[in-house]
């Protein structure tokens, strides 16, 4: 017979010495392992065996079967009152359910904060990562928070959809990630003294084979309703570009997608989000003559038309740009150049009988290499890249649903607990051993014949049913073990639907873990050279008038509004002598 002991906060004692009459240990796949210890009736004022927060180990001879924390305090009362106390202990998963998972957010180079806003499936650089990598980040955070445990990972290469949460626990994060790896089961190994969480794929799980020489009950049901021939996932990708919405659909398929026995899902993903504002300027130019003559100068100095026998010589230009800027402006962003230029010449002739000999004339003008056209640029823009399409999701679902699965339970009674199974194993049974132990061998043969008619069934020894829980109840001299097996809960039809719903209406994150939030008006300067045109007579007193006074001519620019755009129109507003 085994010697059963408890180690409480490092102090080891035998169960009977502590007054513990029996225990009940439940091991769970994707859940908390629970140990319940029943103490014999004692006076309520008796000191309890353990209290809330105590560390507890259950030991069979020298093998550690459970490590956890006491999660309750027993009642106390008056002397003379008797009661059988029950102590409840939870394993490392309970601790993972108490710690809020946080990720590091970098507001700038010097300030990093851990916050409960988390982006599962993405790293700090906002790059998508596999389920395996994301699980490692959650586990690492819990270990850094002070939990003492280790893990064994399978290779989970599925890349999950983008999911953002606020203030979820570490184990909630793990469960959500494992929704996208439905073939993975968990168990905890306590034998080393530090809990080891095993993540195991069904395909690579060790088989727990029962011959059931002390079988008490057996129940097996084939789950044909979960069997699939194929999987079709339609990813609807919604895009929004400058207020125009359009959808593109991309399919992920696995297996035979024809027929009725196909799982079809539609998942919404976010596509490109882009918007922009354009700035436009309209430029009007004319050709600058290489040798300006009478026509050119009369345009800017109309009084020249009154000079007869006119001769224009010694033309000079301070700019080599080829065109005159007539209307508009030339901002730097156009890639064109505009500059103020002075065009000079000597004019000779007669003005109302008076001789003019070599009078200097000058035109101030804006020259440019721009052409007559409308120039435009984006002054402000926003762009959100499309959400990545998950990879391998259809294949992962089909892997678990293309083989016939079974659910049921096995119950056994013996003097010692049966530790054959744990929750990261699959269950198989040897029919021969069972038949030998059953009183009604004929009934067993009938069951085998019925199962043989089920498509895909090849015997109890190959059902490979996932073990979801193991319950061990022990009192001195007698133990019972019950193994529940079947498809993982998140492979049920309703859970598949819920998994689809979990991906609906997800808003793309506006948060970045590495880049601080910032804003900018996106304004771009409209500045640039504008049309400037005027001409003057220089030196020699200018053109004489009837009153003998020299007059000058100026060009005034007027601002006009055309089609809701403000442009500078270079033209004569009025002409006057002064």
- Domain locations in the chain as residue ranges: 4-90, 92-204, 279-378+524-569
pLDDT tens digits, 125-170 = 888 899 999 999 999 999 999 999 999 987 788 888 778 899 999 9
User: Which of 218-222, 330-334, 366-370, 550-554 shows the lowest mean pLDDT across its residues?
Assistant: 550-554
CB atoms within 10 A of CB 552: 16
Q: Which CATH architecture has domain 4-90?
A: Roll (2.30)
Match domain 92-204 to its CATH number in 1.25.40, 3.55.50, 1.10.287, 3.40.190.
3.55.50
pTM, full prediction: 0.62
pLDDT in tens, 244-271: 888 899 999 999 999 888 988 888 888 8
H or E element at residue 94: helix 92-96
Paired tokens of 39:
């103490």
Longest dimension (CA), the chain: 145
Asked whether 59 and 163 are in contact (CB, 8 A), the reply is no
The answer, yes or no, to whether residue 52 has pLDDT greater than 90, is: yes
Residue 281: closest CA among 367, 377, 375 = 375
Per-residue pLDDT tens over the stretch 431-456:
544 444 444 455 545 555 555 555 44
156: DSSP letter:
-
Is the pLDDT at 28 greater than 80? The verdict is yes
210 neighbors 229 (Cβ within 8 angstroms): no
Closest CA to 337 of 364, 370, 366, 365: 370
What's the pLDDT tens digit per position in 102-137?
999 987 778 888 999 999 988 988 888 999 999 999
CA dihedral 288, 290, 293, 298 (to 10 degrees): 10
Judge whether residue 226 has pLDDT over 80: no
Residue 436: which H helix or E strand, with range?
helix 431-437
Strand partners, 22: 38
Indicate the range of 19-23, 322-326, 400-404 predicted with least confidence. 400-404
**Cα dihedral sign for 331, 335, 336, 340?**
positive
Nearest to 216 by CA among 542, 434, 467: 434
CA atoms of 58 and 471, how far apart (whole Å): 15
Percent pLDDT > 70 in the chain is: 77
Q: Is residue 396 within a helix (H) or strand (E), and if so which, with residue range? A: helix 393-401
The answer to whether 418 and 401 are in contact (CB under 8 A) is no
pLDDT value of position 362: 93
Q: CA 294, 296, 299: angle at the middle one, nearest 5?
A: 105
- What gap in Å lies between CA 511 and CA 467, rounded to an integer? 40
Of these ranges, 17-31, 263-277, 552-566, the one predicted with the greatest mean pLDDT is 17-31
Q: Where are the beta strands (DSSP E) in 442-574?
A: 465-475, 478-485, 528-530, 533-538, 558-562, 565-569
**Residue 182 exposure: Cα atoms within 13 Å on the Cβ side:** 21
At 386-416, the pLDDT tens digits run 877 777 778 877 876 777 778 888 888 888 8
- According to DSSP, the residues that pair with 220 across neighbouring strands are 408
**CB atoms inside a 10 Å sphere around CB 349:** 18
Distances (CA, A) of 62 to 6, 12, 21, 49: 11, 11, 20, 21
Q: What is the pLDDT of residue 447?
A: 52
How much is the pLDDT for 571? 30
pLDDT band at 360 (very low <50, low <70, confident <90, very high): very high
Distance (Å, rounded) from C-alpha 220 to C-alpha 175?
A: 27
- 3 state SS of 561: strand
């Amino acid at each position: 017979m085994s010697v059963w002991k408890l180690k409480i906060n490092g102090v080891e004692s035998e169960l009977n010495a502590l007054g513990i009459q029996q225990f009940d240990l439940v091991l769970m796949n994707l859940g908390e392992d629970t140990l319940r210890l029943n103490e014999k009736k004692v006076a309520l004022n008796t000191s309890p065996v353990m209290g809330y927060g105590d560390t507890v180990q259950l030991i069979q001879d020298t093998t550690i079967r459970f490590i956890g924390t006491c999660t309750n305090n027993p009642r106390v009362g008056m002397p003379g009152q008797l009661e059988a106390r029950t102590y409840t202990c939870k394993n490392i998963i309970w601790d993972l359910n108490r710690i809020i998972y946080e990720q590091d957010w970098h507001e700038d180079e010097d300030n990093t904060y851990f916050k409960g806003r988390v982006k599962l499936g993405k790293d700090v650089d906002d790059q998508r990562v596999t389920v395996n990598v994301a699980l490692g980040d959650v586990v690492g955070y819990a270990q850094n928070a002070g939990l003492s445990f280790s893990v064994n990972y399978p290779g989970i290469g599925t890349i999950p959809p983008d999911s953002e949460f606020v203030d979820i626990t570490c184990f909630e994060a793990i469960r959500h990630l494992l929704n996208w790896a439905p073939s993975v089961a968990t168990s905890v190994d306590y034998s080393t003294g530090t809990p080891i969480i095993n993540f195991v794929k069904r395909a690579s799980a060790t088989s727990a084979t029962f011959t059931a020489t002390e079988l008490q009950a057996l129940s097996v049901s084939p789950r044909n309703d979960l069997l699939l021939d194929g999987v079709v996932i339609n990813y609807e990708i919604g895009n929004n570009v400058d207020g125009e919405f359009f959808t593109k659909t991309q399919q992920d398929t696995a297996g035979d997608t024809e027929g009725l026995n196909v799982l079809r899902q539609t998942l919404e993903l976010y596509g490109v989000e882009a918007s922009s504002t354009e700035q436009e300027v309209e430029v009007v130019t004319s050709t600058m003559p290489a040798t300006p003559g009478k026509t050119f100068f009369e345009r800017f100095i109309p009084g020249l038309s009154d000079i007869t026998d006119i001769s224009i010589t010694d033309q000079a230009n301070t700019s080599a740009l080829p065109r005159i800027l007539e209307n508009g402006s030339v901002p730097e962003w156009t890639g064109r150049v505009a500059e103020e230029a002075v065009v000079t010449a000597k004019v000779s002739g007669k003005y109302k009988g008076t001789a003019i000999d070599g009078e200097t004339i000058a035109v101030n003008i804006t020259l440019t290499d721009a052409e007559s056209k409308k120039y435009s640029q984006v002054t402000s823009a926003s762009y959100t890249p499309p959400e990545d399409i998950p990879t391998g999701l259809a294949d992962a679902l089909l892997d678990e649903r293309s083989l016939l699965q079974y659910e049921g339970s096995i119950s056994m009674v013996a003097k010692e607990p049966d530790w054959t199974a744990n929750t990261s194993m699959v269950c198989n049974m040897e029919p021969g051993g069972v038949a030998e132990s059953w009183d009604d061998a004929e009934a067993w043969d009938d069951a085998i014949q019925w199962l043989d008619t089920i498509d895909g069934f090849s015997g109890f020894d190959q059902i490979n049913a996932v073990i979801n829980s193991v319950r061990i109840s022990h009192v001195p001299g007698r133990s019972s073990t019950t193994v529940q097996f079947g498809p993982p809960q998140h492979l049920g039809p309703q859970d598949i639907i819920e998994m689809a719903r979990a991906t609906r209406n997800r808003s793309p994150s506006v948060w970045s873990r590495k880049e601080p939030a910032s804003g900018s008006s996106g304004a771009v300067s409209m500045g640039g050279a504008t049309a400037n045109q005027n001409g003057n007579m220089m030196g020699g007193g200018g053109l004489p008038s009837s009153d003998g006074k020299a007059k000058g001519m100026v060009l005034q620019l007027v601002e006009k509004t055309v089609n809701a755009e403000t442009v500078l129109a270079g033209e004569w507003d009025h002409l006057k002598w002064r």
